[in-house]
A and B are shown apart, each in its own frame.
Chain A
Amino acid sequence: MSDPLVQLTLARLREFVREPEALFWAFFFPIIMTVVLAVAFPGRGAQPVPVGLAAGPDADAIRSALRAARDITLREVQPVNEARALREGEVHLIVVPTRPPTYRFDPSRDESRAARLLVDQALKRAAGRPEPWTAREEPILLPGSRYVDWLIPGLLGMTIMSTGMWGIGFSIVQARLRKILKRLVASPMRKRDYLLAQMIGRLAFLSPEVAIPLAFGALVLGMPVNGSFAAIAIVSLVGAVSFTGLGLLMACRAQTIEAINGILNLTILPMWVLSGVFFPTSNFPGALQPFIHALPLTALNDALRSVILEGATIGAVAGELLILVVWGVVSFLLALRLFRWV
């Protein structure tokens, strides 16, 4: 095949597969990330709540009451260590044995509020409060409700964004630095062919890039995959196209590796934080929500989670896909106009 677009795409693919580091970042980094985070954030339900006990005359009574309680692990806390123990999450609440007892905790933290309820109930029961009744408990383990299940689609979205933008950004700036871009426009090559080849070359490796972490999540970590593979593939593809467009735009003027580094960090890092990779976007105030939901990574993460965890159809995530398409198309057209070749 001697079509310029085919040859440009082949050149891009060859350069990529002949660069072992690029393969590592694209395929194994997300897996390592998933494993590390799965270890760091195990399922929450079965964990006992760590509670601290300060020294004092009534400490013995409180100690025995809390030791007898379910779902609480007790640690002795020295006064000098109190602040640190709370800050580091070693304990969620500290009981000071006054009469009545004093609870030291941060009411803005969910864990601490839960700890307060447990401790309060245990101590009052030990002090002789009668239980009006005991509820019957029916533990249900919902598949997909663990943190790691929620996390994997977000990591997938993050990978699709990062590899797209870094891969495209670096390869273009490098070609510009080596004056390859200048040499190419000195030939009859069509400029849009070059930019399209960058995008297509990037998409060629999308399927393993999505499939490997997804398979790892499903088979090793037990994440449920409720959506169809076609829907997952479409969402991933649209997301990847969108971010390659954005990558082209980011790289369209940069003339040094330092510059593209800065530009990409400035684009990527805020989205890592804002777009619900590690924690839900609902943590941010309402005034920020319209902005957050206009970001391409938010749209991609939302769509991936809906499709993977909830089994949503493509129609159900059409809004998110539209946001991604708009970002991709506008970026590509802007990049084509603003691109610095010489």
Chain B
Amino acid sequence: MSFEIRPPAVRCDRLTKRYGDLVAVNGLSLTVDRGECFGLLGPNGAGKTTTIEILEGLLRPDEGDVEVLGLWWRTDADALRQRLGIQLQETRLAEKLTVGETLRLFRAFYDRGRSVEELLRLVELESKRASWVGKLSGGQRQRLAVACALAGAPDLLFLDEPTTGLDPQSRRQLWGVLERFRADGGTIVLTTHYMDEAESLCDRVAVIDHGRIIAQGRPQDLIETLSAPKVVTRHGTLEDVFMALTGRHLRDE
């Protein structure tokens, strides 16, 4: 038993990121504990991706501090990269490499990690090992992206809209992968548009709009305090909370 206090998986304090006049992230603070699955929810353009990319060390905040696994991007970037798994929203992996080749490439970047066989099994792509990435379905590509993120056996997984555009079967399959990662003690930070996804995967969520957190807590607590189901027989959902908080007008990309 160790008595040292383990730093949280992620802690950030008053993050701000501006693009010209646009304030993408506006004084955002949050803490994610080890072993937790934390969801960032919000409409398009709310600042979810900017926030997660700052946490991933891909963007530099104009103001504020980020601490990840007790380390800092400014001084410990190399050590930190070894311990993170990252899936980006828009990556289209090389189409003319096979699934196995892609995984072997990503595995090569990490000092420790899982074997290609293990990764294939983890995301249920064993049968696609020799297929070109370009021939995969959307769900298979997304599982491959997650497998690349898992290649270094990370302590912390960042996922930016991991199931956007997938059919329900593919989404469930990916949820299964993430649940197994958590069962092994991993921490997850993800962004999503899907309230059912947040409800079923996340221990805690933060609703972001205009670059700040407007509500934060366990999905169940948010539902109890914030939703007012109009039909008596229907339970409130996180979707009701989300709509109540961010309004019903459409957001453009």
Residues in A with CB closer than 8 Å to B78 are: 188
CB distance from B145 to the nearest CB of A (A): 8
A186-B58, A188-B81, A342-B58 in contact; A180/B92 too (CB < 8 A)?
A: yes
Taken residue by residue from 173 to 195, chain A's Cβ proximity to chain B (1 for < 8 Å, 0 otherwise) reads as 00100111011011111000000
Judge whether A183 and B96 touch: CB under 8 Å.
Answer: no
Q: State whether B108 touches A7 (Cβ < 8 A).
A: yes
Bound together, the chains give a CA A56 to CA B98 distance in angstroms of 78
**A182's contact among B58, B82, B151, by CB below 8 Å, is which?**
B58
Q: Does B109 contact A (CB under 8 A)?
A: yes
Which residues of chain B have C-beta atoms less than 8 A from A185's C-beta? Answer: 58
Report the minimum CB–CB distance from B36 to chain A (whole Å). 21
Q: Are B96 and A178 in contact (CB under 8 A)?
A: no
For B94, what are the chain A residues with a Cβ–Cβ distance below 8 Å?
11, 15, 175, 178, 180
Residue on B nearest A15 in the bound complex, by CB? B96
Interface residues on chain B, size class: 20 to 34
Our count of residue pairs bridging A and B at CB distance below 8 angstroms stands at 73
A18 part of interface (Cβ distance < 8 Å): yes
Given the complex of chains A and B, what is the CA–CA distance between A248 and B82 in angstroms? 27
Tell whether, in the assembled complex, residue B58 and residue A4 are in contact, meaning their CB atoms are under 8 Å apart: no
Q: Are B92 and A186 in contact (CB under 8 A)?
A: no
Which secondary structure dominates where chain B touches chain A? loop
**Interface residues in B76-117 (C-beta closer than 8 Å to A):** 78, 81-82, 84, 86, 88, 90-94, 96-97, 101, 104-111
Q: Answer yes or no: B43 CB below 8 A from chain A CBs.
A: no
Interface string of A186-214 (1 = CB under 8 A from B): 11110000000000000000000000000
Which residue of the partner chain B has the closest CB to A178? B92
Tell me, in angstroms, the Cα distance from A188 to B56 when the chains sit together. Answer: 12
Judge if B152 is at the interface, Cβ distance under 8 Å.
yes
Say whether A3 faces chain B, with CB atoms less than 8 Å apart: yes
A188:B97 contact, CB within 8 angstroms: no
Q: Once bound together, how far apart are the Cα atoms of A52 and B253, in whole Å?
A: 71
Name A's interface SS: helix
Asked if A8 lies at the interface with its beta carbon under 8 angstroms from chain B, I say yes
Known: A2-B107, A3-B108. A186 touches B88 (CB 8 A): yes
A11 x B97 contact (CB < 8 A)? yes
A14 at the interface (CB under 8 A from B): yes
A210 to B193, CA, bound (A): 54
Q: Is B59 close to A, CB under 8 A?
A: yes
Determine the chain A residues whose CB is within 8 A of the CB of B97 once the complex forms.
Answer: 11, 14-15
Q: Judge if A21 is at the interface, Cβ distance under 8 Å.
A: no
Which interface residue of A8, A14, A179, A186 has the most chain B CB atoms within 10 A? Answer: A186
B93, A186: Cβ atoms closer than 8 Å: no
- With A14-B97, A19-B96, A183-B88 as contacts: A189 and B109 at CB distance below 8 Å: yes
Chain B: CB-nearest residue to A2: B108
Which chain B residue shows the least CB distance to A5? B108
Whether B88 and A187, one on each chain, are in contact in the complex, defined by CB atoms closer than 8 angstroms, is no
B93, closest chain A residue (CB) = A180
A4/B96 contact (C-beta < 8 A), A14-B101, A183-B88 known: no
**Is there an interface contact between A183 and B93, defined as CB atoms closer than 8 Å?**
yes
A248 to chain B, nearest CB (A): 18
Chain A contact-residue range equals 20 to 34
CB distance from B80 to the nearest CB of A (A): 9
Is there an interface contact between B110 and A11, defined as CB atoms closer than 8 Å?
A: no
Known: A3-B108, A4-B109, A19-B96. A179 touches B88 (CB 8 A): yes
Closest Cβ of chain B to A215, distance in Å, is 29
Residues of B within 8 A of A11 (CB): 94, 97, 101, 105
A18 lies within 8 A of B106 (CB): no
0/1 string, A235-252, CB within 8 A of B gives 1: 000000000000000000
In the complex the two chains form, what is the Cα distance from A187 to B91 in whole Å? 13
CA distance A214 to B92 in the complex (A): 39
> Min CB distance, B136 to chain A, in Å?
15
> Which of chain A's residues have a CB closer than 8 A to the CB of B81?
186-188
B91 in contact with A180 (CB, 8 Å): yes
A7 to B103, CA, bound (A): 10
* A contact residues around B105 at 8 Å (CB): 7-8, 10-11
A186 and B152 CA atoms in complex are apart in Å by 12
Residues of A close to B93: CB separation below 8 A: 178, 180, 183
Q: Are B92 and A179 in contact (CB under 8 A)?
A: yes
The CA of A103 and the CA of B148, in the complex, are separated in Å by 78
Interface residues of A in 283-301 (CB under 8 A from B): none
Given contacts A11-B94, A15-B96, A18-B96, whether A188 and B109 have CB atoms under 8 Å apart is yes
Assembled-state Cα–Cα distance A180/B91 (Å): 6
Query: Which 7 pairs between the two chains have the least Cβ-Cβ distance?
Result: A188-B81, A7-B108, A18-B96, A186-B86, A183-B91, A178-B92, A179-B91
Known interface pairs A4-B108, A187-B81, A188-B111; 15 further A-B residue pairs with C-beta atoms within 8 A, sorted by A's residue number: A3-B108, A7-B108, A8-B105, A10-B105, A14-B97, A14-B101, A15-B94, A18-B96, A178-B91, A179-B90, A180-B94, A183-B86, A186-B86, A186-B88, A188-B109
Residues of A within 8 A of B (CB): 2-4, 6-8, 10-11, 14-15, 18-19, 175, 178-180, 182-183, 185-189, 342
Q: Write 27 A-B pairs (CB below 8 A) sorted by A numbering.
A: A3-B108, A4-B108, A4-B109, A6-B108, A7-B108, A8-B105, A10-B101, A11-B94, A11-B105, A15-B97, A19-B96, A178-B91, A178-B92, A179-B90, A180-B91, A180-B94, A182-B58, A183-B91, A183-B93, A186-B81, A187-B81, A187-B106, A187-B148, A187-B151, A188-B81, A188-B111, A188-B152
